[in-house]
Amino acid sequence: MRPLGPPFAAAALLAVALPALTGCGDEGGLSSAGPTPTAVGPVRLWPGLPPATAPPFDYGETEIQRVPGVEAPDNDVHRVDAVAVVQAEVRAHPRTYSGPDGLYAETAAKIGRCAAEPTACPVMRPYYRDLTGNGRDELIVGIRMPEQQVGVRVYLAENGGLTRIMSTVDQVVSVDLAGRDLIMRVSSAGIPGYEYRTAWTWDEQQGAMLATRDEIVRVKPRGSASPAPEPNFVEPTPTPGPAATSSGPPAPTGSGILDPEVLAPFGDRP
């Protein structure tokens, strides 16, 4: 018989080794995760529907506005007094009760008396975060209103002044910062046990913060005897920059961002 050459010898050795390998069990090896569900693509319903002729309802998200009479030296929002910013907007839009500039009459009156009655001032401590990705902080302002309504406004420093790039009012449960998103949690009176969460994100094309994600989320039930939760605002990570001037409040410090269970409460202006 002709002796086996190297290829045949290798094949024979492999055949002998296979039973030994398979007999050791599958410890450390790959295992099946079960059958994979069949992917189902989107299906368009009623494809014959004609296109809409009326534009969608305008919520005013893209309405930006230059704040009159307020300067931002070196385009640094830390050097701007948040109360002075809101007061300038109230003076520019007196007796305005709806839209991005809308305020309750009593809230507008209290804003005008912030210097004389600082403890009653509805403008809360400002916060700072680079929401636009331009490498500089934006100014985030909260305004307390009746019935747990909170106005949230965001300002961009550019060309030595301020441009308001977001303004909304709602019955806020909390406001969080996650990356460059500002996330508002709003109570849903119409659906007990649920709340709305809206993520506001900078849109470079519109030059404004837009409500890019909106969802209804199940929340932990609260006892009927429990008081209404106080609004919360997360402490943002401070960004290095020039110190605040004596006319403006100091920048807050802190590092918590995401977990709504450990958010710091809304604080009054120092």
Specify if 122 maps to a domain: yes
Least confident of 140-144, 152-156, 181-185, 241-245: 241-245
Residue 128 structural domain: 65-238
Most confidently modeled range among 11-15, 19-23, 46-50, 180-184: 180-184
> Is the overall model pTM greater than 0.85, yes or no?
no
Please report the sign of the dihedral spanned by the C-alpha atoms of residue 65, residue 69, residue 75, residue 77: negative
Is the residue at 13 inside a domain?
no
Whether residue 247 is predicted with pLDDT greater than 50 in this model: the reply is: no
- Report the C-alpha gap between 206 and 165 in whole angstroms: 10
Query: How many Å is the Cα radius of gyration of the chain?
Result: 29
Residue 98 confidence (pLDDT): 82
Which pLDDT band holds residue 152 (cuts at 50, 70, 90)? very high
pLDDT of residue 97: 85
Instruction: Tell me if 212 is assigned to some domain.
Output: yes
For residues 157 and 33, the model is more confident at 157
Average pLDDT of the chain?
77
Q: Are 264 and 232 in contact (CB under 8 A)?
A: yes
CB 54 within 8 A of CB 227: no
The pLDDT of residue 246 is above 60: no
Structure tokens at 147: 């019935």
Q: Is the sign of the CA dihedral 85, 91, 92, 96 positive or negative?
A: positive
Is it the case that residue 262 has pLDDT exceeding 60?
no
Q: What is the pLDDT of residue 228?
A: 42
What percentage of the chain exceeds 90 in pLDDT? Answer: 49
pLDDT digits (tens, 9 = 90+) for 192-234: 889 999 999 999 999 999 999 999 999 876 554 444 444 444 4
- pLDDT band for position 57 (50/70/90)? low
The pLDDT of residue 38 is: 83
102 belongs to a structural domain: yes
Distance CA 140, CA 176 (A): 11
**Within a domain: 71:** yes
Task: With respect to residue 270, please indicate whether it lies within any of the assigned structural domains.
Answer: no
Question: Based on the structure, what is the number of domains in the chain?
Answer: 1
Residue 46 forms part of a structural domain: no
Reported as a pLDDT band with limits 50, 70 and 90, residue 187 is confident
What pLDDT is attached to residue 86?
97
CB 110 within 8 A of CB 134: no
Q: Inform me whether the pLDDT recorded for 129 exceeds 60.
A: yes
Taking CB atoms within 8 Å and a gap of at least 24, the contacts of 33-42 are: none
Is it the case that residue 27 has pLDDT exceeding 50? yes
Residue 78 lies in a domain: yes
Q: What is the pLDDT of residue 175?
A: 95
